[in-house]
Chains A and B, each alone.
Chain A
């Protein structure tokens, strides 16, 4: 399975601090995506990074991808209480058209004010 695995499982920080979450996967991929889930709701897409990209930014989010290590990280800078949520990475299998997107178990982030 190419399922991603996030690390840590849970993270607690203070407002204003940075939060870093990591994702490891097993097989070659086309892209890697990060999603956020607020309690009791569906997932919201945050960012997609392609296998030929190494870093991508979107607002306070910074994602890196190291295909040699089969890992990615999501950095949230200057965190806010509203960033409290679960964060998931998702991958597909490279060279297999139309494969399903598989999610990891997620990192639960708690930001306290």
Chain B
């Protein structure tokens, strides 16, 4: 079946603009994660959705960042008033259970460049 799909694959935007990044998880997966990876760096946790529970937003770096997961499936990460330091690859992952019980399946990411 299809894996985790992210769109767009690349996004160039001007400083101050808002952007929306989309993630289509594997069908039936209840857990969905967003991570950010700067060039040559590790993964920075942003937000975690698990079923119908309230999302864990503890990794969001500022109130300019928000995410939704509609109908327990597709997720959108929104960055308002983008800054140059927001430039990074944004990775989405899903898993069939809580992540401590099963592996994460990653998409190929959205490369965001803020000019």
Query: Which A residues are closer than 8 A to B by beta carbons?
Result: 29-31, 33, 35, 41-45, 48, 88, 90, 92, 97-106
Residue of B nearest to A34 (CB): B103
Q: Is the CB of A98 within 8 A of B107?
A: no
Given A42-B4, A43-B91, also A103-B43 (CB < 8 A) = yes
Give the docked Cα–Cα distance between A41 and B48 (Å): 21
Instruction: Tell me, rounded to whole Å, the shortest Cβ–Cβ distance linking A99 to chain B.
Output: 7
Contact of B53 among A41, A48, A98, A104 (CB under 8 A): A98
Q: Is the CB of B42 within 8 A of A104?
A: yes
Give the docked Cα–Cα distance between A80 and B102 (Å): 27
- Report, nearest first, the 5 A-B pairs whose CB atoms are least far apart: A42-B106, A45-B103, A105-B42, A103-B43, A92-B100
Query: Which B residues are closer than 8 A to A by beta carbons?
Result: 4, 33, 35, 41-43, 45, 48, 50, 53, 56, 58-59, 91, 93, 98-109
* Chain B binding surface SS class: loop
Q: Is the CB of A101 within 8 A of B107?
A: no
Q: Is the CB of A100 within 8 A of B91?
A: no
Instruction: Tell me, rounded to whole Å, the shortest Cβ–Cβ distance linking B100 to chain A.
Output: 4
Instruction: Tell me, rounded to whole Å, the shortest Cβ–Cβ distance linking B2 to chain A.
Output: 14
Q: Is the CB of B56 within 8 A of A31?
A: no
Given A43-B104, A101-B100, also A88-B43 (CB < 8 A) = yes
Q: Is the CB of B42 within 8 A of A48?
A: no
